[in-house]
Structure 1
């Protein structure tokens, strides 16, 4: 962001946004004083034991688990109300660790999985790729791994509602890999130009989309965006699921490139992605952001039935 944009964002920010941003910078500043191997789990602990209870995340996680995984026992649910924000905190600390984070990813070259040969072929031929990703593990570990090989990976992002927070958040994610395209008309135009030129786009698909198709996710009807499949069909791009899976040490990653999704209807292709993501989540329950309101109509219906 330019100096004038930063000044304008700060001037326009509400008092609540300024206080929230200052609190975040204080926490992250203290964390950066720690060595990397301590910093990442420390911020994870803060999110799990301080932020999550204050923000109501634990309640939201329990509600979502009651819908999608009613088979879990109380102890398992309790553990996940801590594991989910811990992973989110670690991911944010990694973003703000800059080269300490990206250098570790580049050195490890953690890309693996059955779809990796397809990516290597696309890189050689200049074929566009839609990388279907989710709020799972660390999304930016995947971007860093692809950029580490010199591959043309772009991402669509939604600026945070707190504009003063964006003055440092956007530069932090841009430092991991470029280009970045903000949601909106100008960002979409630039993204399509990049894709048509053989670029690779990371597109999320795991949040509720009221304009999406009603597909299945954990056996529940879930409004799912069709855009990744529609773009893949329109531009003859490979549609490939990808995820940065955090490893047991809490610091390293396996970036799993899934099998390419075969062409079909947009609904069939996105259902295949939902199924693949569900498989990943069931294997690593604490790494998906269970805080999202993924099943809004189902939750509303259940709430009304209790009145």
Structure 2
């Protein structure tokens, strides 16, 4: 999507709305980036938790998702999870716009997990690698730690509805490492070419995909893309679940590479990815982005 809406599909009222909302958001980002790193992260977390999240309907959606998954959980406990979720969303947002400070902090972060030896071996052999995660903690923390070690990690993203916001949103993703590609035929072609040329890929798989098959996720069926598993099988690529887990101080991360998913078939491999993320959410539900419509149209 271009930085300016296409005249062919132009709706003046909508375009002005996009322009003005982006002006507010971008101005806020620029102001926050003037602050010391720790202060800006804490402040943005508090703003999304207390103001932006409730006004945008994110808190309501998080509570609805939590009630669907854990109806037996006391309401105050679900409310606390939603509160901490929104704080993490805000922190992750401004971290990802801290294109200099955040990667520098993550560059020295230790990588852990059973997937690290497998990744190092695959790199030594020149074997393709696909890294898969969800909207948990901040996945860019692990991506930044890997890029600092010489990986050329490309990513696939969804265009934002607001084209003005989308223009600078894409630039923040590019600042963390390799090229990024918009979903669609052209983007997928570039994504695959990057993999075949020896680059590594990052995919997030935990959003609803219309028409995708259903897999169990947190005890309920959820439409889930099988593309990560299909690409891994097609190009004999290592498939590694990874996570950037926010630490109690709210600023640090544990950067984890789990053991690779064994090659079998797309369905079994995708379910294994879903189970991996579900285990992380059950361990600490405050870190997942409950604000997405993961189980639509069911709720």
Q: Deviations over 1:175-208 (max 9, x none)?
A: 1111111112211111111112222111111111
* Aligned CA distance change for structure 1 residues 36 and 10 (closer, same or farther; 3 Å): farther
Matched position secondary structure for 1:14: helix
Q: Is the 8 A contact 1:10 1:164 kept in 2?
A: no
Q: Is the 8 A contact 2:45 2:86 kept in 1?
A: yes
Q: Which has the larger share of helix?
A: 1
User: Which whole-Å CA distance do the structure 2 matches of 1:296 and 1:201 have between them?
Assistant: 27
Name the structure 2 match of 1:227: 227
User: Which whole-Å CA distance do the structure 2 matches of 1:9 and 1:29 have between them?
Assistant: 23
Matched position secondary structure for 2:244: strand
Name the structure 2 match of 1:303: none
The count of residues paired between Structure 1 and Structure 2 equals 294
1:150 aligns with 2:175: no
Matched position secondary structure for 1:254: strand
Matched position secondary structure for 1:240: strand
* Aligned CA distance change for structure 1 residues 52 and 248 (closer, same or farther; 3 Å): same
Name the structure 1 match of 2:102: 101
Name the structure 2 match of 1:64: 65
Alignment of 1:154-173 (within 5 A): 154-173=154-173
1:236 aligns with 2:228: no
**Post-superposition offset of 1:60:** 0.7
Q: TM-score, normalised by structure 1?
A: 0.91
Name the structure 2 match of 1:31: 32
Alignment of 1:116-127 (within 5 A): 116-127=116-127
Q: Is the 8 A contact 2:158 2:183 kept in 1?
A: yes
Matched position secondary structure for 2:294: coil
Structure 1: 5+ residue runs without aligned partners?
300-307
User: Which whole-Å CA distance do the structure 1 matches of 2:168 and 2:217 have between them?
Assistant: 34
**Post-superposition offset of 1:130:** 1.3
Name the structure 2 match of 1:54: 55
Name the structure 2 match of 1:304: none
Q: TM-score, normalised by structure 2?
A: 0.94
Q: Is the 8 A contact 1:10 1:163 kept in 2?
A: no
**Post-superposition offset of 1:9:** 4.9
**Post-superposition offset of 1:267:** 0.7
User: Which whole-Å CA distance do the structure 2 matches of 1:293 and 1:25 have between them?
Assistant: 25
**Post-superposition offset of 1:74:** 1.6
User: Which whole-Å CA distance do the structure 2 matches of 1:32 and 1:200 have between them?
Assistant: 30
The farther-off stretch of 46-55 and 171-180 is: 171-180
**Post-superposition offset of 1:84:** 1.0
Q: Is the 8 A contact 2:5 2:15 kept in 1?
A: no
1:247 aligns with 2:244: no
Cα RMSD of the aligned pairs, angstroms, is 1.7
User: Which whole-Å CA distance do the structure 2 matches of 1:293 and 1:85 have between them?
Assistant: 15
Q: Is the 8 A contact 1:129 1:237 kept in 2?
A: yes
Matched position secondary structure for 1:210: coil
**Post-superposition offset of 1:275:** 0.7
User: Which whole-Å CA distance do the structure 1 matches of 2:31 and 2:210 have between them?
Assistant: 40
